[in-house]
Structure 1
């Protein structure tokens, strides 16, 4: 399974792009969303200094219907609404890739995390482009369970090393102490830790952001 973090730029004709760019200090956090036949429904938490103005603009926008305020304070509101332009939901539905919630939107951009097969993610990229949603890639990586990254024995030793304070600064446990606690030879403990650390560090470096945003999601999936 591959995991990708995308930064989407909303089309100018979309209500969320218009409102979030008009109020760039306001954040829209999508807590729940579901597509309908031709519309979409969402629960969104709005936070910022212009909440009143944002709510008034939402009530007046022709792409939003059935706006209901679930919670309200001076700088925050949670609203439920129906929209006639749920392009992100339609992209997700057509590609078979669920959008992981919550989604945060600010100043016309949405940060979206998705997980699925490389084929499905490539289909999502095509659907985003079809609906006019441009994007740049923050990261793409394989989503591995810890048991796939480390062997059972490596995991046991690393967890014990953390518990015993081997990785504390200053250390509360020496390599000799750790080996004695585990009941293994010092050389075996050292080699097993080194192999586990190698796997962890390499995975960490591979997951660092810095991918070329000019490449499409499909191209980066193929490259990996």
Structure 2
């Protein structure tokens, strides 16, 4: 991220930015942004199998975007990793499950910068997830020009954001498998994960690839979604 973005903290807030949404074609985009550009870079370095999924992100602007999120992975390892990461503060654990925890988090300025850029471009954040050292943002815009506005802001602030999917309201889509998704699908197929009955469990395939159960599940889900869009929608 450029020094300009760090000095600005966040883009100026524009009241009623979401009012730009009108009836007609809607653009839904997925962007992949390295954790080094937003947050959690150090946490992922210390706990590579950690995952993050923001809770209830759609809607209005907030002074604390992504303040509540599900953290997946070993609880002790992820807590230590978050504590060592200067981009985030683990304020409290609200809900505990076997493989994930709902946490209250405080993120550093780059998170607000990214969120404000989306809203000030007329966008809505539908979901925000992070795994394998990258953030994946699903965004909705009233038209393609609003998405272009956002990408222009990212360029201006030096934020390295890559479009991985763009879909129109009419269903037209440009979604492609990532290399990691392709690898996960191929490994699952070779091990017989998709057979009935299954010849291998998700955990076994994940172990073969040297990744966590959560990461494997996410790659398969996104990979299958990409294939469905490619074969059925396109």
TM-score of the superposed pair, with normalisation by structure 1: 0.55
Note the 1:28-39 alignment, pairs <5 A.
28-33=52-57, 35-36=62-63
Structure 1 residues 24 and 66 mapped into 2: Cα distance closer, same or farther (>3 Å)? closer
- Does the 8 A contact of 1:91 with 1:131 survive in 2? no
Tell me the number of residue pairs that the alignment of Structure 1 and Structure 2 aligns.
Answer: 147
1:45 correspondence with 2:11 = no
Shift of 1:55: 1.6
Q: 1:69 aligns with which of 78, 82, 93?
A: 93
Deviation digits for residues 153-192 of structure 1, max 9, x if unmatched?
xxxxxxxxxxxxxxxxxxxxxxxxxxxxxxxxxxxxxxxx
- Unaligned ranges ≥5, structure 1: 145-202, 212-224
1:129 correspondence with 2:173 = no
Q: After TM superposition, what 4+ stretches of structure 1 lie above 4 angstroms from structure 2?
A: none
Q: 1:6 aligns with which of 30, 33, 44?
A: 30
Shift of 1:142: 1.7
TM-score of the superposed pair, with normalisation by structure 2: 0.53
Shift of 1:14: 4.3
CA distance in 2, matches of 1:31, 1:57: 20
- Unaligned ranges ≥5, structure 2: 1-24, 178-234
Shift of 1:65: 4.0
Note the 1:27-176 alignment, pairs <5 A.
27-33=51-57, 35-36=62-63, 40-48=65-73, 50-65=74-89, 67-85=91-109, 86=111, 87-101=113-127, 103-116=128-141, 117-144=143-170
Deviation digits for residues 7-37 of structure 1, max 9, x if unmatched?
322252643222234323221111134531x
Shift of 1:52: 1.6
Structure 1 residues 74 and 131 mapped into 2: Cα distance closer, same or farther (>3 Å)? farther
Please provide the CA RMSD for this pair.
2.7
Query: 1:207 is matched with which residue?
Result: 173
More strand by share: 1
Structure 1 residues 133 and 22 mapped into 2: Cα distance closer, same or farther (>3 Å)? farther
Shift of 1:2: 3.9
Which SS does the other structure have where 2:153 is aligned? helix
Deviation digits for residues 71-93 of structure 1, max 9, x if unmatched?
12343111012222213312213
